[in-house]
Amino acid sequence: MIARSTFSGLGCSAALLLALEPAGAQVLPKIPPAPIPRQEFAPPPPPKPVETKPPEPDVVVPPLEIKDASGKLKIYSTSLDEVVIRSIKFPPDKQAKVDASIAARNQDLEKWAVDNLEKIKAAIDARKELDDLKDFNQFSRVKEAANALQQEGLLDRLVRDGAITTLTKSSVDRNTAAYADARSAAWSADTGANVMKIAYLVGSQGYADQTRDVLAAVDRLIARATPSMAADAKALGVAPDQIAKLQGANPDQMRSFVFDVLTPEQRKTILSKYVSKSPARDTPRH
């Protein structure tokens, strides 16, 4: 009786569950959760630019004087770079490096000049065309002759020798650029629309900038040779009629004698004797 009662109870429970379940019902699979929406990559916004001033040079670099006492454009006989460098008050150890670098450069320029006297003569002769400028072909010839004398700039040499920093060079460059702008403005005011006059001014300045240092080296050599020029020429067998042309001893006369009277070999032999031997020579402090 007990067993019968138990199965009877189970049967009733099963019948009850079947009665509660709808006809034809199926067991559905679980619905997976909805995927998380994918976010597109957005780069972070760029940082705001920070205004920074250029670093200050390690020495005070005075600006070039642009006008003279009369209010006109100031004209410099030496290069603008040299004018600024000479105006800087370097500490003693730095000044010694600057002087040594300038002296070594002067010596290198003198050696180069002795080995390239024909290029120098061609540049000197070409310069005369600017004074009688009639067409731009002359301008091109002068430019080509002047470019043949181009050398490493003073500032680049000082940086290479460790005498000044690149910051000091940048400051000097800014000062000389300001002067060059003022010079261009003055030229425009003076010349107006006169194209040939503008060409003359630009050509003359370009010639001076390209040849100044080499011609200064030649002038130093000639100045040292001047006291004994006649004796040196005679010892080389220079003809008496050539030596007779050595009249006067001013720089222009001596340069004319060297380049217009002496032969290429004679001038090279004489001037090579007077290349600076000491690094400290020809570096006066202004």
Write out pLDDT tens, residues 5-14: 444 444 444 4
Query: What's the pLDDT at 16?
Result: 43
Tens digit of each residue's pLDDT (9 = 90 or more) over 45-81: 777 777 666 665 678 999 999 988 888 889 998 899 9
Residue 271 confidence (pLDDT) above 50: yes
- Give the residue among 166, 172, 180, 259 at the shortest CA–CA distance from 221: 259
Distance, CA of 161 to chain centre: 15
Alpha-carbon distance values, 17 to 8, 22, 57 (Å): 15, 10, 96
Query: What's the pLDDT at 30?
Result: 63
Separation of alpha carbons 275 and 88, rounded Å? 28
User: What are the tokens at 123?
Assistant: 């540049």
Residue 24 confidence (pLDDT) above 80: no
Separation of alpha carbons 100 and 276, rounded Å? 13
Grade residue 134 by pLDDT with cuts at 50, 70 and 90.
Answer: confident
Grade residue 149 by pLDDT with cuts at 50, 70 and 90.
Answer: very high
Tens digit of each residue's pLDDT (9 = 90 or more) over 192-249: 778 778 878 888 888 899 999 999 999 999 999 999 999 999 999 988 888 888 877 7
Residue 148 confidence (pLDDT) above 70: yes
| DSSP 8-state secondary structure symbol assigned to residue 51 | P
- pTM of the model as a whole: 0.73
Query: What's the pLDDT at 41?
Result: 61
Can you spell out the DSSP letters for 123-134?
HHHHHHHHTT--
Q: Which range in 5-9, 189-193, 253-257 is most confidently predicted, on average pLDDT?
A: 253-257
Separation of alpha carbons 238 and 262, rounded Å? 8
Q: For residues 170 and 5, which has the higher predicted lDDT (pLDDT)? A: 170
Residue located via tokens 């011609």: 215
Query: What's the pLDDT at 93?
Result: 95
Query: What's the pLDDT at 196?
Result: 77
Grade residue 42 by pLDDT with cuts at 50, 70 and 90.
Answer: low
Query: What's the pLDDT at 284?
Result: 39
Grade residue 15 by pLDDT with cuts at 50, 70 and 90.
Answer: very low
Query: What's the pLDDT at 27?
Result: 54
Tens digit of each residue's pLDDT (9 = 90 or more) over 74-109: 999 889 999 999 999 999 999 999 999 999 999 999
